[in-house]
Amino acid sequence: MLASRAVSLSFFHTSIALRTGRNRILIRPARLTFRPNLSSRHSISGDSKVRHSRKLISRRTMSNSANQSSVVGSIFPEQGQDVELLNFVNDGYGGVIVEMKVPMDPTAFASSLRASISSWRKKGIRGVWIKMPINLANLIQPAVEQGFWYHHAEQNYLMLAYWIPDTKHTLPLNASHRIGVGAFVINDNREVLVVQERVGKLRGIGMWKFVTGVLDPGEYIHDGAIREVKEETGVETEFLEVLAFRQSHMTFFDKSDIFFICMLRPLSFDIKIQESEIEAARWMPIEEFASQPFVEKHQLLKYMVDISMAKIGRGYTGLTPVRISSAFTDRLSHIYVNIGDLNQNNQDGSGSNSCCEDKSKM
C-alpha cells in the first residue's frame, strides 16, 4: 500500500505543476523514502524486463508503449535537493529509452535530465535515447545543452541521442537508404504499361516510362510495386519477380538509394490515371518503347529493357518473394530467391525439401 500511495502522490504533484504552470516542487516528509513494492502492480520481474526489452527493440520506431517497465517516481539527490528521475525502459543494448509524453517546465526537465544521466552513469548505462514529440519541442534545447544530438526525425517526433562513457559512441546511425521500385508490366500482346509524368524531371518532354515510386515505411518491395501501378494507372497486377536492382548514393537529401526493377502480370487492362502525378498512360508495344531516343541514351532504362526482353524469352530468371519466419521475432518477413533453380536443386536430391511455390511463370 505504501508503494501505491507514493506513486499516487507523485502523480498528484505532477498534475498540480501542470495546472499552475510553476516548477514542480517535490515535498516529502522527513525520512520518507519511496521503495517500490515488488509485489504491487507497478513492479515487473527481471525476466519480464528482458522479454519486454527484446520486444521493444524489434519495434521500428523504438516506441515505449509498455509503461509498466518504466521507472516511476524515482528520486535522486542533486545539489542538496531531491530531483525526480525521468521514466525510461532499457533498450536491450546497455542503454535506455526515454519517451517524453507529459509537458514539463524546461528548467525542471533540465534538472531531471542531469540527475537521470548521473544515475545512469553509476549503473553503467551507455547510450540514451529521448523520443521527443513535436508538442514538447520546447524541451529540445535543454537536452541539446546537456550534450544530446539529433539522431533522426519523423513527422511527429524527434529522436535525440547521448553517449555517457568517455569513449567513441557505438550507437547505430540513422537510416541511410530509401527504397524505390520500377514496375515492368507486360500483357500477352507484348505491350508494356507506360506513363508520362505530370511532375518530376521527365515532365513535358513526351517521354514514356515504366511506373516508378518509393516504398512506404514498413512496405515490402512486391507490395509497393503493386500499389504504385494501381495508384498511377488503375491497373490491377500480380507480382512475379525482382529482375534486378540498382544502388546509388548522394541522392534524395544526400541519402543512398536502392531501386528494384520488378516484373508484374496485369490482372486488368482498363487505365485510369492518377491525374495529380500522371499526364498520360497507355499500353505500348515493347519494341516501340525500346526505340525511344531517351531510352537508348539512359543506361538504366536500356538495361531495364534488355532484362525485360531476356525475361520474355525465358532466358532470364529473377527473384521471387517467399514468406519466412524467424527465431527472434513472431513477425514474418520475405526472402527473394530464384525459386526455379532452388526447387530444381531440391528435386535433384542435393538440397532440402521444396519450400517455395514457383510464381515465375508468365
- DSSP per residue, 6-20: HHHHHHHHHHHHHHH
pLDDT for 308: 79
Residue of 19 and 356 predicted with greater confidence: 356
pLDDT for 70: 36
Of all residues in the chain, the percent with pLDDT exceeding 70 is 72
Alpha carbons within 13 angstroms on the beta-carbon side of residue 295 total: 19
Q: Name the band, by pLDDT with cuts 50, 70 and 90, for residue 103.
A: very high
Q: Which residues contact 174 (CB under 8 A, 6 or more apart)?
A: 151, 152
Report, as an integer, the average pLDDT of 91-96.
Answer: 90
Query: Is residue 231 flagged as an active site residue?
Result: yes
Does pLDDT of 104 surpass 60? yes
pTM: 0.60
Q: Which of 211, 352, 327 is nearest to 277 (CA)?
A: 211
Q: Name the band, by pLDDT with cuts 50, 70 and 90, for residue 290.
A: confident
The overall average pLDDT reported for the chain is: 77
Catalytic residue, candidates 219, 231, 236, 279: 231
Report, as an integer, the average pLDDT of 333-344.
Answer: 77
Q: Name the band, by pLDDT with cuts 50, 70 and 90, for residue 300.
A: confident
Q: Which three cell numbers mark 257?
A: 538509394
Among 6-10, 137-141, 229-233, the minimum mean pLDDT is found in: 6-10
Burial group, residue 345, by CB count within 10 angstroms (0-12, 13-18, 19+): middle
The residue type of 196 is Q
Residue of 224 and 361 predicted with greater confidence: 224
Q: Which residues of 286-312 are buried (b: 16+ CB within 10 A; e: fewer)?
A: beebbebeebeeeeebeebbebbeebe
pLDDT for 11: 35
pLDDT for 190: 92
pLDDT for 353: 47
pLDDT for 8: 35
The residues pairing with 239 across neighbouring beta strands, listed in sequence order, are 264
Does pLDDT of 225 surpass 90? yes
8-state DSSP, 265: E
Tell me which H or E stretch contains 288: helix 286-290
C-alpha–C-alpha distance, residues 30 and 237, integer Å = 72
Report, as an integer, the average pLDDT of 306-319.
Answer: 80
C-alpha–C-alpha distance, residues 156 and 200, integer Å = 27
Look at strands 237-248 and 256-266 and give their pairing.
antiparallel
Highest mean pLDDT among 21-35, 116-130, 318-332: 116-130
The pLDDT tens digits for 162-185 are 999 999 998 988 877 889 999 999
3-state helix, strand, coil in the chain (%, to 5): 30, 25, 40
Q: Name the band, by pLDDT with cuts 50, 70 and 90, for residue 76.
A: low
Report, as an integer, the average pLDDT of 57-78.
Answer: 44
Does pLDDT of 100 surpass 90? yes
Contact 58, 331 (CB under 8 A): yes
Report, as an integer, the average pLDDT of 63-87.
Answer: 57
Q: Name the band, by pLDDT with cuts 50, 70 and 90, for residue 79.
A: low
Report, as an integer, the average pLDDT of 6-12.
Answer: 36
